[in-house]
A and B are shown apart, each in its own frame.
Chain A
Amino acid sequence: MKEFKVTPIRNGTVIDHIGVGMALKVLRIIGVREDVSSTVSVLMHVPSKKGSWKDIVKIEDRELDPKELDKVALISPDATINIIRDYNVAEKFVVEVPERVKGIMRCSNPGCITNQNEPVEPEFVVEAKKPLALRCKYCDRLTTDIAENIV
């Protein structure tokens, strides 16, 4: 019988194929904090079938919404999402880097108007996907350090 390090979950979301070492950042950007109310399992440096390494995050009793999935794509573009219902994979898909990113990242330029107290959500156009580079719609500056600027 196959031995599981972490048991399957009944309901919730499994984020698989996260870039190795990125699991904790994934938790941070999807807002899993110390006050979390469901069980969260984190597996780091897991061998993948492709012969390399990956991280996995399992969140019980929670299905991520598309806005949260966009955030995951920004820091781990090869991640796959498995929505689990009653122990079965109800939906499975690869996250996709959106064409435009709105409201989930701040501009890395401290002089950008969106970093002032203005009633506007920062908005970016994806200029390159690998490595990811986002151009601010307002100040035109490129942001490449994505994980640091996720809000």
Chain B
Amino acid sequence: MLAVQSLWDILFLLALVIAVAPFFGAYLGRVYLDRPAFGDVLLNPMESAVYRLLGTSPRRSMRAKEYMFAVLLVNAAVFAFLYLFFFFQNALPLDATLAPGMRWDLAFHSAASFTTNTDFTHFTNETQLSLGSLIIAWPLALFVSAATGLSVAAATIRGFVRKDGTLGNFYVDLVRTITRVLLPISLLAALLLVLLGVPETFKNYVVAYPITGGTQPIFLGPVASFQSISWLGTNGGGFYSANAASPLANPSAGSDLLGAFLMLLIPFSTPFAFGQIVRRRPEAWPLMGTILVVFAVAMGLFVAYQAAVNPALVGLPGLAPQTSGYPVGQETRFSLPEASLFQVASVYSNTGANNMQIGAISPVGQLVLLFGMFTQSTPGGDGTGFGMLLLFAVLGIFVGGLMVGRSPEYLGKKITTGHIRWAALALLAHPALILVPFVVAVAGGFASTTSGSVPTSAHTFTSILYEFTSEAANNGSALSSGSFNDTTPFFNVAGGVIMLVGRFVPIWAMLAVGGMFSEEEILPPGPGTLRTASATFTVYLTLFLIIISVLLFLPVIALGPLAQIVGGP
């Protein structure tokens, strides 16, 4: 039975992040409006120097196509750099773990994974990643991928208030995101993590002599600075293969709560940045309300099922009755609600860090996590999660307008079939990227298990479904290890392609929709205008998002998680 007192700290933390979000969101808005903001005296001259080095200027605002081209170019450069670094890691500096160079398909999967803010890993950090790959190459992607997502969201939002067809300068947005958001907060958070027990050193390992004999190499490194940007940037990569379950990466309840705060901070604040940029603050609340309702229901279900007894272990001789939660795959130092908050915050923000073995939890818990990746937008990853929610809203307003006979417009911008085509493309790409590879993997015999080439258990179905969903949503949490082998060329190549398409097609759609809005005049509200800053619209948008997501995925969840819930193996 779960004690009510044990919920207090997570309720306090959620209240704190929701209370901070409007203020931090307003700050984010000022950053992207290029308005005077905290830190200008120090940062303005530095940023100007960087713009000169890049050969650009804030006055050179880009149209949607040019912005998209710049996004693709910068990310292609990061991808190429990572691919080459991983492929040749044994020949590059800081090869302390003596890891061999990655095979081409693993290097492809890893480079795609880090570039797209997914951070899904098909390798064991401690044995397959050189120190240089871990502390030089990967952190670069942790910063750039998060900054790309936020810049794209800012550009898309600007479309609502501009009439000249431009969305801003991608390079300027990238630089300002890093200097004013990601770098200062992750620096501060890294120091807090050290105070909470996380290592931060340039020594890469020490050899200990355990008291019962033998040796135990203990891997160390700049763990705190890695984890803080990994969580703040909703990346989710772990310094250790145990990710956020590792006692070195996440040593206490305090670091666990700080991690949850960092993962939710930017995604929860972005709706308020939206309100600030479009100069209509009440417009933030329907979007924030949708996020909060879905998140709260998910949290409640997850905690309740984490506290439930596993019937499969009841009555085992010599075992005391299960009282304090379900320990299999869990860490001792977190209370059940603390572990759950981190895990739900991580998957719902598309961070994908795990502080538990999610393959070991109840099937209902697994379904809750899957649902967060189906919506991708409650709240979703830094920037892109909010972008998806805006596309849901645009589609919802269009459909709702048809139903009640209102003219489909959002914030004075007319929604046309052009907008709908792009929004539908982004929303339909997601199930296509999950279901098509799922069928190919299962029917093609690529997901071979110990029991044969075609999986027969519901748990294996869930694992394969989870793998592709996590990649398509750029989430990165994994449930698969053990039930099938995902380190084959098939899963590396398919996974890499899914992550790249699942990242850049929705980004393209967001920028295209923002670009079309930016071409339009702003209409004054008329009698036929659907009021979007209202409770009615909040309820409508929430239901619209849930119904669309359930309809798209119901058949496939019946094969895996639902079959497990009703008692399949």
A binds B: no
